[in-house]
Structure 1
Amino acid sequence: MAQHRCGAMVFLISLSLFVVAHSQDSSLDNGQDIPEHKNAQGVEETTEQRTWEASEVGEGNAADKQEHREPVTVVPSTGPPQKDDFQEELVIRPLQSGDIYASFQFRTLWETDFIGGNKVSHYRLFPKSLGQVISKFSVRELHISFTQGYWRTMQWGQPYLPSPPGAEIWVWFQDSVTDVDGTWSELTNVLSGIFCASLNFIDSTNSIQPSASFKPLGIGNVTDHRFLRYATLPREIVCTENLTPWKKLLPCGSKAGLAVLLKSEKLFHSSFHSQAVHIRPMCQDTHCTSTLWELRQTLNVVFDLHTSGQGKREWSLFKMFSRTLTDACPLASSSKIYVDVSDSDEGEQFELSPATPLLSPAVALGDRRTFSVYDLTQQTTFGTMLSFNLLIRWKSNDGHMRRPLLHAERYVAGYGLQTGEIHTLMYNNHPYRSFPVLVLDLVPWYLRLYIHTLTVTSKGKTNSPSYIHYEPSKDRVKSHMLEMLVQLPPNSVTEVTVQFERALLKWTEYTPDPNHGFYVGSSVVSSLVPSIVAMDTNATQEHPLFNSFFPSKEESSFFVRIYTEPLLVNLPTPDFSMPYNVICLTCTVVAVGYGSLFNLLTRNFQIDEPSPGLAKRIANVIRKMRGVPPL
């Protein structure tokens, strides 16, 4: 009987499990419980944005006309609306110097409404930590980057996504925020804990409110710059503690997909390393009836030919990252590798192994490029070895890199420790077209600018800016902010010079290594640069993701933002050995002089009589027995 009962129970349990599984399958087919992924062609991104005009503008609203206005980014979908979607890509560009540039991009699209104040409790692909930050602090856009090293524009060309050395963060808040400064302070402290960075040191002395730079990249008609905050930490050191929480934000982490290649030992042993997080709202259709949020995680790295110990000009995924690829992220709807083969026509300069017949033309940074595409979602990419290792072998050292149309440099001039000059050089390498640039400078308060000494010269002549916005600093309260719109003549070098005076800090305000100097953040130069080729407005999913971050509908120009080098300025530094000598001398005087006097004043003195002899003690014992007083 017991055996029959157990058999009946097993039969009933099996029948119930079959019914539950069948019901789940039907719910999945209906698309109600778990949204299915989009295919590789299911998302098509087009972008509309107002761009700057290169013509002359007036004094009052010049920056508003020149800075690109709020772009309306649209992601139309051919199928039913999806709740979330994840895409990943790796773009590899061999450089003429023998180095190699690798750019990772991981994009998560999520259909939800944070702006409306709705509470979101379910997170699938979008990281919960960032979703709670957006909801709690009413963030409209968030852009944060951590960079180690300086991007050499004249050797490597323009980066896909620029960033300054150190840490940079700029945030657009919603217009419902009443206390922007308080919210900004709380947000930086929270982000400091998420990314294990020193963002909690951001305060009013190193953050500003730009008036024309850093327009919103997402949807919305935000024009009030009271809801914008920008800050930099040029001395921030990027290490594994920053990379680990960044990788944890990915849906697959570092266990599958392209994130497997993100090995910290190889990434930080490079000439340039930059990781960033960009969050912005986007339109889902052309009429913007529904919105979604885009989380774009980027990582750019340049591997040096000599630093890596390479004996010859040959690169592979294993030599760059010490790992190979075995599969794509199972949660990704698109996982591809793009290799820029534009500089190697018909394999004259380098060859790829394994070769691929898939080629994708695209217009990147105003130049027409050609990419070899490897789709990791196809099992044929990995072959019979179930492992993918891309090999790039150089065949010729001939070739030249086209100079970037816009380049900027900055340095400190002068002698002594009282006054100095800041020189900013902006190069317009276009042979016959001029264009305006918007320059933003954030100078600490301990460098007191003489704004009346500001001069702008081009080709030996004075070049008057058409727009200038300057906010003076307050000692230990706020920094200098200088924004100006300058027209760069064709094939010229424009120099911006301003004098400053070094302040003498309090001895508690100096860093532990004051003789090393103090860092001044990079200048930000933004412009619409004339394009060499016509911009292709028919963007498809086959184009790399970086091509859609700073899009432009205008065919004659494209948006570029570049950063100069950070400055290292020496300040008047006192002799910190003197306080040590004074402390030692004071302690000696206190110990010898005051200590001895205090000991004499507080000591108790007592008179001790000498011990009597043996005969006297015996006599006293006898006298005590007789009742006579002792001697």
Structure 2
Amino acid sequence: MAAHRCSHSALLLILCSLLVFIVADSDKATLTVDHHAPAVDNPQTVAETAEGAAAEQPAVQEERRWEATQVEEAPLVEAAAEREDPPAPEAVLQPSVPQPKDDFQEELVIRPLHSGDIYASFQFRTLWETDFMRGNKVSHYRLFPKSLGQVLSKFSVRELHISFTQGYWRTMQWGQPFLPSPPGAELWVWFQDSVTDVDATWKELTNVLSGIFCASLNFIDSTNTVQPSASFKPLGISNVTDHRFLRYATLPREIVCTENLTPWKKLLPCGSKAGLAVLLKSEKLFHSSFHSQAVHIRPVCQDWQCKTTSWELRQTLNVVFDLHTPGQGKREWSLFKMFSRTLTEACPLASSSKIYIDITDDPQGEQFEVSPATHLMSQAMVLGDRRTFSVYDLTQQITFGTVRSLNLLIRWKSSEGDMLRPLLHAERYVAGYGLQTGEIHTLMYNNHPYRSFPVLLLDSVPWYLRLYIHTLTVTSKGKDNKPSFIHYQPSKDRVRPHLLEMLVQLPPNSVTEVTVQFERALLKWTEYTPDANHGFYVGSSVISSLVPSIVAMDTNSTREQPLFSSFFPCKEESSYFMRVYTEPLLVNLPTPDFSMPYNVICLTCTVVAVGYGSLYNLLTRSFQIEEPSPGLAKRLANIIRKMRGVPLL
């Protein structure tokens, strides 16, 4: 009985303990609810705060887009830590990483020339909001080619400009091109100020670019590389004045062929499968009077305040077709006649795909007729002049019509009309006789009727043409024209070329002639090319100037405008930047008669063969005494004696 009473007591004690714990837990929960109650105690205040935040958000939406995500993450983590509950994987907000933005545009400009030729200029531009200058490693590439992105990052390149040109641009017949380039290969690069050894980086960069574009850029070395002090300013947003990080080189003998065009087309987002790039057929492009392809990379501004920057990759291809054959009685061209193909669609990755036809010289359609007709017209400031274009937008399906193919056709009605002479033009040639001395003449034409303007002349002359700088003369209209700035760096044999830069004022409607004498050096026999008698090429002179404009230029580089009119930055409304290249020079040097070694080798081998052969025969020949042969009677007697078995005589 006592045991039963003790068990009841123990049971009551356990029940009392459980009741105490339950009451304690309920009090703790009440305190917790009271602690969090002020957060939702006044819903009107919360609503007013949310409305005020929403009113302030649109003004700074772009600047605070990623900040809001990072601020909201901390309270969630703290609340989860207080509850000590494992958060569900779906409930955790990962910090948003802004993805780089890129854009691709393509354009084709067609200009009928007064000479009967057709000028076609392709423009492909890729913009990418990323930063290669801070050493950031970019691993994801969408539209921007990865090969060029790795080059910019590895070699700390700020700007890169490279061109391959076959033929010479005839300025007096064709006018000024949209983007000029010298014959052969041209390369100039601005490096970042973080590069310690610019020469070593330049050498390695040329070898890499040689492999990317299948060109002979590996032949660029110190003997054909210069460091300009005033020319080739950056075309991007960087205002760099330290020219130690600039290198410029040309290969005037470089031949452009399909091997250079194929890797160039592979850099495009759509390649040559869609868009305007389907017209780039090699057998048609290289069967032309002039062909030039280039790649330009630079940082540009996205807005007027330049708060956002992007990398711009601009691929250009200029070609001039000679389609007018005298005696046929008609002048007409079409896309199929030029490129053997028609257009069926735009590049799916392109935000803009347009074709411009220059009709400035024939606004009323009296000289030529364009078909199919278009109602879209556009005006642009090109090379200091206001030009009018017919526009075909390839992103609109109505452009292709019902046949799903676009083949533009122009028929000339009249051949009347004169081309305006370009305001700035230049020529260069070699004078003199013999193979010892000579003169280099550079002619610069200012065709403006009443305005003068300065030009910056850059000449890079190989070391084997030893310039006599004291013979330098500059004359305009028969009078001496003293340059306001001269920079000359003498050459070193087999180390570096001559570099001459001058700032010359060109009087209105005049011809300025720059003359300098030189002496030809005698090279070593191993330094001659395989076709030494063909001659040695000297790169083109480069003339840069701000030419007076006929109309007011647009200084807002971020405004929407065609690609062909927005390459060179314009900082003044009254002038525009122009760069002109002269012809390359072909100079003969004292060349030995390379047939003489062949003759000497043949003569030497003959003498050695005769002399050594006779001595060898005398030393190795064995002599034996030969008995005279017996007479006929004795031979008959021996035969008879042999038959009889008698000893021979």
The reply to whether residue 410 of structure 1 matches residue 428 of structure 2 is yes
Match of 1:391 among 398, 405, 409: 409
What secondary structure does 1:560 align onto? strand
Name the aligned partner's letter for residue 360 of structure 1: S
- Per the alignment, residue 112 of structure 1 pairs with 130
The reply to whether residue 279 of structure 1 matches residue 297 of structure 2 is yes
Decide whether aligned partners of structure 1 residues 609 and 417 sit closer, same or farther in structure 2, where only a CA change above 3 A counts.
closer
What secondary structure does 1:323 align onto? coil
Task: Give the TM-score of the pair, scaled to structure 1.
Answer: 0.81
The reply to whether residue 124 of structure 1 matches residue 113 of structure 2 is no
- Per the alignment, residue 149 of structure 1 pairs with 167
Q: Which has the higher contact order (CA 8 A, sep 6+)?
A: 1
The reply to whether residue 181 of structure 1 matches residue 213 of structure 2 is no
**What is the CA-CA distance between 1:508 and the residue it aligns to?**
1.4
Bigger radius of gyration? 2
The reply to whether residue 216 of structure 1 matches residue 234 of structure 2 is yes
Deviation sequence 1:119-163 (CA, Å, 0-9, x none): 011111001111111111111100000000000001100000000
Q: How does 1:399-548 map to 2 (within 5 A)?
A: 399-537=417-555, 543-548=561-566
More displaced stretch, 386-395 vs 215-224: 215-224
The answer for unaligned runs of 5 or more in structure 2 is 1-61, 63-97, 628-649
The reply to whether residue 570 of structure 1 matches residue 588 of structure 2 is yes
What is the rounded CA distance, in whole Å, between the counterparts of 1:477 and 1:591 in structure 2?
44
**What is the CA-CA distance between 1:540 and the residue it aligns to?**
7.7
Deviation sequence 1:66-98 (CA, Å, 0-9, x none): xxxxxxxxxxxxxx9961000000000001111
What secondary structure does 1:561 align onto? strand
What is the rounded CA distance, in whole Å, between the counterparts of 2:326 and 2:555 in structure 1?
39
What is the rounded CA distance, in whole Å, between the counterparts of 2:234 and 2:99 in structure 1?
25
What secondary structure does 1:574 align onto? coil
What is the rounded CA distance, in whole Å, between the counterparts of 2:162 and 2:551 in structure 1?
31
Q: How does 1:70-469 map to 2 (within 5 A)?
A: 83-306=101-324, 312-469=330-487
What secondary structure does 1:485 align onto? strand
What secondary structure does 1:210 align onto? coil
Decide whether aligned partners of structure 1 residues 182 and 307 sit closer, same or farther in structure 2, where only a CA change above 3 A counts.
farther
- The count of aligned residue pairs is 531
Does the CA-based 8 Å contact 1:360-1:542 persist in structure 2?
no
- Per the alignment, residue 61 of structure 1 pairs with none
What secondary structure does 1:588 align onto? helix
Does the CA-based 8 Å contact 2:162-2:185 persist in structure 1?
yes
What is the rounded CA distance, in whole Å, between the counterparts of 1:104 and 1:96 in structure 2?
20
What is the rounded CA distance, in whole Å, between the counterparts of 1:606 and 1:182 in structure 2?
72
Decide whether aligned partners of structure 1 residues 171 and 540 sit closer, same or farther in structure 2, where only a CA change above 3 A counts.
closer
What is the rounded CA distance, in whole Å, between the counterparts of 1:567 and 1:293 in structure 2?
36
What is the rounded CA distance, in whole Å, between the counterparts of 2:528 and 2:616 in structure 1?
38
Name the aligned partner's letter for residue 462 of structure 2: P
**What is the CA-CA distance between 1:594 and the residue it aligns to?**
3.0
Does the CA-based 8 Å contact 1:279-1:293 persist in structure 2?
yes
What is the rounded CA distance, in whole Å, between the counterparts of 1:148 and 1:530 in structure 2?
30
Decide whether aligned partners of structure 1 residues 466 and 190 sit closer, same or farther in structure 2, where only a CA change above 3 A counts.
same
**What is the CA-CA distance between 1:512 and the residue it aligns to?**
1.4
Name the aligned partner's letter for residue 448 of structure 2: H
Decide whether aligned partners of structure 1 residues 451 and 310 sit closer, same or farther in structure 2, where only a CA change above 3 A counts.
farther
Deviation sequence 1:527-558 (CA, Å, 0-9, x none): 00000111134678663202111131311100
What is the rounded CA distance, in whole Å, between the counterparts of 1:547 and 1:374 in structure 2?
17
What secondary structure does 1:465 align onto? coil
Does the CA-based 8 Å contact 2:118-2:320 persist in structure 1?
yes
Does the CA-based 8 Å contact 2:554-2:570 persist in structure 1?
no
What is the rounded CA distance, in whole Å, between the counterparts of 1:269 and 1:314 in structure 2?
18
**What is the CA-CA distance between 1:510 and the residue it aligns to?**
1.2
What is the rounded CA distance, in whole Å, between the counterparts of 1:496 and 1:600 in structure 2?
73
What is the rounded CA distance, in whole Å, between the counterparts of 2:376 and 2:595 in structure 1?
67
Does the CA-based 8 Å contact 1:86-1:333 persist in structure 2?
yes
What secondary structure does 2:526 align onto? coil
What secondary structure does 2:349 align onto? coil
What is the rounded CA distance, in whole Å, between the counterparts of 2:339 and 2:327 in structure 1?
14
Does the CA-based 8 Å contact 1:103-1:298 persist in structure 2?
yes
- Per the alignment, residue 53 of structure 1 pairs with none
What secondary structure does 1:587 align onto? helix
What secondary structure does 2:519 align onto? strand
**What is the CA-CA distance between 1:493 and the residue it aligns to?**
0.3
What is the rounded CA distance, in whole Å, between the counterparts of 1:438 and 1:600 in structure 2?
78
Deviation sequence 1:419-478 (CA, Å, 0-9, x none): 110000000000111000000001011111000000000000000000000011111111
Does the CA-based 8 Å contact 2:425-2:580 persist in structure 1?
yes
More displaced stretch, 510-519 vs 358-367: 510-519
Decide whether aligned partners of structure 1 residues 607 and 120 sit closer, same or farther in structure 2, where only a CA change above 3 A counts.
farther
What is the rounded CA distance, in whole Å, between the counterparts of 2:325 and 2:159 in structure 1?
37
Task: Give the TM-score of the pair, scaled to structure 2.
Answer: 0.79
Root-mean-square deviation (CA), in Å? 2.0
Does the CA-based 8 Å contact 2:300-2:310 persist in structure 1?
yes
Does the CA-based 8 Å contact 2:116-2:324 persist in structure 1?
no
Decide whether aligned partners of structure 1 residues 599 and 548 sit closer, same or farther in structure 2, where only a CA change above 3 A counts.
farther
Decide whether aligned partners of structure 1 residues 582 and 530 sit closer, same or farther in structure 2, where only a CA change above 3 A counts.
same
What is the rounded CA distance, in whole Å, between the counterparts of 1:309 and 1:165 in structure 2?
31
What is the rounded CA distance, in whole Å, between the counterparts of 2:309 and 2:555 in structure 1?
22
What secondary structure does 2:389 align onto? strand
Name the aligned partner's letter for residue 235 of structure 2: L
What is the rounded CA distance, in whole Å, between the counterparts of 1:564 and 1:510 in structure 2?
25
Does the CA-based 8 Å contact 1:426-1:494 persist in structure 2?
yes
What is the rounded CA distance, in whole Å, between the counterparts of 1:327 and 1:392 in structure 2?
21
Decide whether aligned partners of structure 1 residues 599 and 282 sit closer, same or farther in structure 2, where only a CA change above 3 A counts.
farther
Does the CA-based 8 Å contact 2:275-2:345 persist in structure 1?
yes
Decide whether aligned partners of structure 1 residues 451 and 194 sit closer, same or farther in structure 2, where only a CA change above 3 A counts.
same
What is the rounded CA distance, in whole Å, between the counterparts of 1:259 and 1:308 in structure 2?
31
What is the rounded CA distance, in whole Å, between the counterparts of 1:544 and 1:392 in structure 2?
22
**What is the CA-CA distance between 1:385 and the residue it aligns to?**
0.1
The answer for unaligned runs of 5 or more in structure 1 is 1-30, 32-79, 611-631
What secondary structure does 1:346 align onto? coil
Does the CA-based 8 Å contact 1:270-1:308 persist in structure 2?
no
- Give me the identity figure in percent: 87
Name the aligned partner's letter for residue 212 of structure 1: A
Does the CA-based 8 Å contact 2:302-2:558 persist in structure 1?
no
- Per the alignment, residue 57 of structure 2 pairs with none
**What is the CA-CA distance between 1:507 and the residue it aligns to?**
1.4
What secondary structure does 2:364 align onto? helix
Does the CA-based 8 Å contact 1:269-1:308 persist in structure 2?
no
What is the rounded CA distance, in whole Å, between the counterparts of 1:127 and 1:259 in structure 2?
16
Higher helix residue share: 2
Name the aligned partner's letter for residue 305 of structure 1: L
Does the CA-based 8 Å contact 1:338-1:544 persist in structure 2?
no
More displaced stretch, 534-543 vs 180-189: 534-543
